[in-house]
Structure 1
């Protein structure tokens, strides 16, 4: 019962994918598998990963290419490529094929939409004088260092994603502003006990048909409340973005 944002500061998705990959590598190292088999599997996985990476990089644009103009703000290939990497990472995690023409078209459309939506949010946040303090940015940065196991590991992950430290901190700043904006401008109502119970009953019914089990209601209720709250927030956010678009001048250049 996981839920992921459709609007987000781009770097989060890309780094989350990198972190997950590191976790998988660590797990593989700990498993008791003969060294020769581990080496062979590692070589095969590396070859597959490199082939996939080449295909993903083919979808990138020239960093200086103009991709969209949102209320006179020019969005370039550099910003597009960061958003693209995050969306590609999410799709990879869900097991989708990223190399077919249909997938490439879908990724391009989603990347542009995400890029435009985030620009609108951040532009409006500026009007509302919503800011991120240096202390907040530093705290968030340190939390990433902890997640990655230290400064050195984080630097490596950023390098792998082709993101420099300055750009990363700007993305963190946008992330903080983005979250503050949603909290202020897109409030949600408290989820009711009835809504939680209805969700659980439906999930239990679906799981039973699939021959699966779910945790007892007492264990799952808190997570369900979070899911329903996020769903409500996403619905409200989508409606809010549409309102922003009605009063915005948006030109797509690709």
Structure 2
């Protein structure tokens, strides 16, 4: 019976294919036309999106500073336009990806303030890391660079990404070195503190309430417990970092020049 049913299915399918081929020429022509129209529409949409992104990039580029322009001085260390522009581009792209215009008057002011705040904070932390002997070896930097390159399989893709982010490989290596130095410093100097069970349950209850309000069912507590713990640890660490930067600022000389 199973073999007979299979043969019937195959034969039925064959008949449908033959009938479509013999009597459906007009439909086939319509399908081809619709397919061509959709392809043309997709190509036009992609071209429009590309033009919009190019226009946005031009507007974003106008907000860059000259590479050698002094942006701020932190404990006698000068921060230049080249440092500012790297962070500026990263933040602008984040806003653009969220559907907001980073070059609008209100948001560009926010972006500028965030870039300055980040630059000053990072500089103070790295200065303290340097002072306390945290470093990144050339071997550590090269290993991390190779890991990044391995993520881009196609030839020229890595270079293309660097160009899109207005970075050179040397600038990236400097960032990698600073990240390694920063990570070592953070791991030793700033503890997130213990996340307690009642904190995790409180966070879960809030999440469950939000899910319920949206007409959804929240996963069981045990299923998301580790995720919640990680989120709270990260949140606590960020708070500690902000407090630590504020403490470093009290003993620092910071002058913003833009």
Fold in common (TM above 0.5): yes
Q: How far apart are residue 94 of structure 1 and its match?
A: 2.9
Q: How far apart are residue 194 of structure 1 and its match?
A: 2.0
TM-score, length-normalised on structure 1?
Answer: 0.83
Measured in 1, the distance between the counterparts of 2:220 and 2:256 equals 49
Q: How far apart are residue 34 of structure 1 and its match?
A: 4.0
What is aligned with 1:23?
Answer: none
Tell whether the 8 Å contact from 1:204 to 1:214 is kept in structure 2 after alignment.
yes
**3-state SS of paired residue (2:73):** strand
Alignment of 1:49-68 (within 5 A): 49-68=53-72
Tell whether the 8 Å contact from 1:145 to 1:151 is kept in structure 2 after alignment.
no
What is aligned with 1:202?
Answer: 206
Which of structure 1's runs of 4+ aligned residues deviate more than 6 A? none
Q: Cα deviation per residue 1:67-108 (whole Å; 9 max; x = unaligned)?
A: 100000001111100111111122223333313211111111
Q: Whose Rg is larger?
A: 2
What is aligned with 1:185?
Answer: 189
TM-score, length-normalised on structure 2?
Answer: 0.81
- Residues 180 and 94 of structure 1, relative CA distance in 2, 3 Å threshold: farther
Measured in 1, the distance between the counterparts of 2:124 and 2:97 equals 27
**Greater RCO (CA < 8 Å, at least 6 residues apart):** 1
What is aligned with 2:30?
Answer: none
Q: CA RMSD in A?
A: 1.6
1:220 and 2:236 equivalent?
A: no
Q: Cα deviation per residue 1:11-60 (whole Å; 9 max; x = unaligned)?
A: xxxxxxxxxxxxxxxxxxxxxx9432321121011011111111111111
Count residues in correspondence. 222
Q: Cα deviation per residue 1:148-171 (whole Å; 9 max; x = unaligned)?
A: 335631111112222111111111
What is aligned with 1:44?
Answer: 48
